[in-house]
Structure 1
Amino acid sequence: MNKILRWSIVAALAGFLFGFDTVVISGADKKLQLLWGSSDAFHGSVVMAMALWGTVVGALFGGIPTNKLGRKNTLIIIGLFYVVSAIGSSLVNDPWSFAFFRFLGGLGVGASTIAAPAYVSEIAPAKNRGRLVALYQFNIVLGILIAFLSNYLLRNIGENAWRWMIGIEAFPAIIYTLLVFYVPKSPRWLISKNKISEAKEVLEIINPNENIDEVLAEIKAENERELPGETIFMKKYRFPLILAFFIAFFNQLSGINAFLYYAPRIFEEAGLGESTALLSSIGIGVTNLIFTLLGVSLIDKLGRKTLMYIGSVGYIISLGLVSTAFFLGWQGMAVPIFLFLFIASHAIGQGAVIWVFISEIFPNHLRASGQSFGSSTHWVLAAIIPSLVPMLFSTIGAGVVFLIFTIMMVFQLLFVFYVMPETKGVSLEELSKKLIKQ
């Protein structure tokens, strides 16, 4: 188990870089706009958003190298993208070059949401799979917190502080890339490429107490059901496709990314001062980390559905209260407290479950494509919803926006109750048989 844990942590470090990369830009935001004299529109849609568009492209097409080159090689390429992006964007002197290097980092983020969960789900024993894949989410949250902290510590080191804030990511990126060279290739990917003896060696480490020939036969049988030219959009894969779409759809319709990007602005809207608002953002990071850790530790004990129930109820209560606070004009700590409850509900539910669940529900030969579909749905919505938030706040008001998010979470609760299957403790091959309509 120790080796599997080590390999899972290495793959999950792609998540740490994802979290760090996503948030680190917030520290340089105003400084860069001032430095390059960009208009609000250009600064928002090019300088700040380019990494996000890179993420969307990486999520749309990341399934291709994950299938063709394999999970491990794709993780190495992702690491190189992070390194080049961090060094490049910290050395440039104009907004277009900056946007280009940020776009490269975004490609790494998008592809990592496919390759890392797919890799870990394929090396993990069924009984620990949830916990090991959820390490990816834990690392995302840790990366976010460390980026907030790093920005805070580097903020006063002179006029080039922004270069250090962004460039420092190269250090963890180089370490991660070197570590990936030492993990084995995914046994299920190796079998799909007919590299049986290599796959056998890895399977013997993963399943020391099982008959390896039986495990091999089960994976091979699963692969043999594959027909040439199959895609995830065929009728028999409709159920896993619907599951992947809705878990990603509801993830974003909770308003989570909109909230993470605009936390200080939301706190200021609720009547807190600027410094309190920034401090509250670090508090959000800590809350997120603690409850993600709780979710990771419970996911294989309670199962995915139970965590989604807890998260959904927490969402409905907290978002409903935030909405009420804006409608009735409650001041002071009311909104921050409700939003902390919201973050806790997200972390223990959707946060811990989404990448685990999407990586489990597709058959081996279509896992990367299915992961790519779920991930793309997530990222397209993560690009659209936050970009609408400032406009929606000024037109329909924060109260209505949070009310819409609340109603969406009632629908999520119904989805969990009526549609979502439990995947805890079941082998990937067994799940395939259950979820695919032959």
Structure 2
Amino acid sequence: MKQNTAFIYVVTLVATLGGLLFGYDTAVISGAEKSIQAFLIDSQGLSSFLHGITVSSALIGCIIGGIISGILSAKYGRKNALIIAGILFLLSALGSGNPEFLFFEKDTPTMGLLWMFNFYRIIGGIGVGLASAVCPMYIGEIAPAEIRGKLVSLNQFAIIFGMLVVYFVNWGIAEGQTIEWINKIGWRRMFVSEAIPASIFSILMFFMPESPRYLALKQKNDKALSILTRINGAEKAKQVFEDIKSTVQASATKAKIFSYGKKVIIVGILLSVFQQFVGINVALYYAPRIFESMGAAKDASMLQTIIMGLVNVIFTVVAILTVDKWGRKPLLITGSIGMAIGMIAISVLAFMDIIGMATLVFIIIYTASFMMSWGPICWVLISEIFPNKIRSQAVAIAVAAQWAANFFISSTYPPMMEFSSGGTYLFYGIMSVISAIFIWKFVPETKGKTLEEMDNLWNKE
């Protein structure tokens, strides 16, 4: 019996629905953001700081979800953690679209309603934080080493595809409608639309297998071997199972987070922080507003956002096709250089007060560079660099750091832009340069290595 490729891809595709929901939930705000501002912020004369907090409030939940992902995935399993994430996505979709439910009068903006809207967005954010940590970990623990990079990268493709889908959904809802209708009804439909993929994901995950490495950690050896056999075939499964058992023998006593030294944890955290400090989510969350500031009309700005989404999908496919051939480090360094060129050029144009097609071209260069490198490859590395015994804890720390960095960058964007747009983009460009140096100096290449070989990758202190 050979490797069961069909089974591997079915499990991966169902798991990547969590990634699709991650993308959908984080990008749905881009179409609804100006309506939320009109309905809940401007109508009450509130500040740009509260606007920034409201746009990025889901990220507070993402930090919480990242932190608790280690506890949930270690105690209840990777599969059950993903089911919980799906249920949270569903609750958030319904609540964000109708925040007045039970407690408030319909269409009457108050501070209480603003906080209730943010509460529902935070619930969805917890789902995103869970999915962002557990999806790549689950796929990485099921995937054979030689195609692990490709399969984990599919999760990033699903994230970007989810963003692209919601750009089309938002555009379709807003198309041909008045601003008044969008500000009253349209933004609600944008949020509620997420309930459909959330329901599908939650149901399908019930039928998926648990991670064999999680089962081995819990001493459920027969179940672990059974799933490994279904994935790899009987002969290879026994070999993989023995490798797994050799790395989890000491797990009878709980492994400490620094069992393999501090460097592996610091590298994981810095991978996460750099992925956000290069400024990608500013481009994603505020895309329509950025294009409008460049002189595009409302409909054109939404269309340009869709074009950017298509570019993102295409260049994520480039990463999927090359990550297991070229390796992780070359792609990350190349992407960092491309992002630096894009952001520094946008900064120069902003300082010269030049707005036009050149700005759009450099935004596309920047986002394409990110999508072929830091977008998918950061998640690949986070899912694989940590040894088996500390993976769930270490991934939780790295992902929580990522969402904390994401929240900082997204919520500071409006006040930074008020101070200096050119300086804001220059900061992201400098971060891109530093990220390239970090990868070159400190991150090991993991192409083709089994998860069990990660034990030997880091010298114990």
Post-superposition offset of 1:84: 1.6
CA distance in 2, matches of 1:25, 1:344: 21
Residue 299 (structure 1) aligns with: 323
Bigger drift between 262-271 and 336-345 goes to 262-271
Where 1:426 maps in the other structure, the secondary structure is coil
Task: Return the match for 1:118 from 130, 137, 142.
Answer: 137
Residue aligning to 2:114: 95
Where does residue 105 of structure 2 map in the other structure? Answer: none
Deviations 1:177-222 (A, max 9, x none): 1110111010000010010100011010222164433322211110
Supply the distance in 1 between the matched residues of 2:301 and 2:39 (Cα, whole angstroms).
24
**Bigger mean CA deviation after superposition, 170-179 or 258-267:** 258-267
Partner of 2:11: 7
Amino acid at match of 2:276: Q
- TM-score, normalised to structure 2's length? 0.89
Match of 1:129 in 2: 148
Shift of 1:148: 1.1
Percent identical across equivalent pairs? Answer: 37
Would the aligned equivalents of 1:392 and 1:401 in 2 still touch at CA under 8 Å?
yes
- Residues 267-416 of structure 1 aligned to structure 2 (within 5 Å): 267-395=291-419, 397-416=420-439
User: Do the aligned residues in 2 keep the contact of 1:79 with 1:174 (CA within 8 Å)?
Assistant: yes
* Uncovered stretches (5+) of structure 1, i.e. residues with no partner: none
C-alpha distance in structure 1 between counterparts of 2:128 and 2:44, whole Å: 26
1:183 aligned partner: 208
Amino acid at match of 1:22: T
Give the aligned residue type for 1:224.
Answer: Q
Distance 2:153 2:159 in 1: 10
Instruction: Tell me, yes or no, if the aligned pair for 2:52 and 2:412 is still in contact at 8 Å.
Output: no
The change in CA–CA distance for 1:425 and 1:221 in structure 2 (over 3 A counts) is same
Aligned residues: 436
- Determine the C-alpha separation between the residues in 1 that align with 2:434 and 2:62: 27
* Aligned residue in 1 for 2:103: none
| Structure-2 change in CA distance of 1:2 and 1:29 (3 Å) | same
- In the other structure, the counterpart of 2:191 is 166
Q: 1:67 aligns to what?
A: 74
Give a deviation string over 1:18-77, Cα, whole Å, max 9, x none.
Answer: 111112123233333444434434852664333221111111122100110000011111
Asked if structure 2 preserves the Cα contact closer than 8 Å seen for 1:58 and 1:106, the reply is yes
User: Gaps (5+ residues) in structure 2?
Assistant: 101-112
**CA 1:393–1:48 in 2, change beyond 3 Å: closer, same or farther?**
closer
Pairwise CA distance, 1:436: 4.0
Contact 2:16/2:158 (<8 A) preserved? yes
Change (3 A) 1:191 1:24: same
CA distance in structure 1 between the aligned counterparts of 2:279 and 2:167, rounded to whole angstroms:
20
Any residues of structure 2 matched to 1:239-258 within 5 Å, and which? 239-258=263-282
Distance 1:402 1:90, change over 3 A: closer
Conservation of the 8 A alpha-carbon contact between 1:267 and 1:335: no
Deviation at residue 273 of structure 1 after TM alignment: 4.6
Are 1:104 and 2:131 an aligned pair?
A: no
Alignment of 1:266 with 2:273, yes or no, is: no
Comparing 151-160 with 314-323, greater Cα deviation is found at 151-160
1:384 Cα deviation from its structure 2 partner: 0.7
Q: Secondary structure at 2:372's aligned position in 1?
A: helix
**How do 1:137-156 residues align onto structure 2 when only pairs under 5 Å count?**
137-155=156-174, 156=177
Structure 1 pair 90–319 and aligned structure 2 pair: CA distance change class (3 A) = closer
- Quick one: which amino acid aligns to residue 196 of structure 1? N
RMSD: 2.0
Structure 1 residue 226, shift from structure 2 partner: 4.2
The 8 Å contact of residues 318 and 339 in structure 1, kept in 2 or not, is answered as yes
Aligned to 1:49: 56
Which amino acid counterpart does residue 286 of structure 1 have in structure 2? L
Conserved 8 A contact 2:52-2:413 = no
Moved more, 324-333 or 288-297: 324-333
Q: Is the alpha carbon distance of 1:240 and 1:182 closer, same or farther for their aligned partners in structure 2, counting shifts above 3 Å?
A: same
Contact 1:66 1:114 in 2 (8 A): no
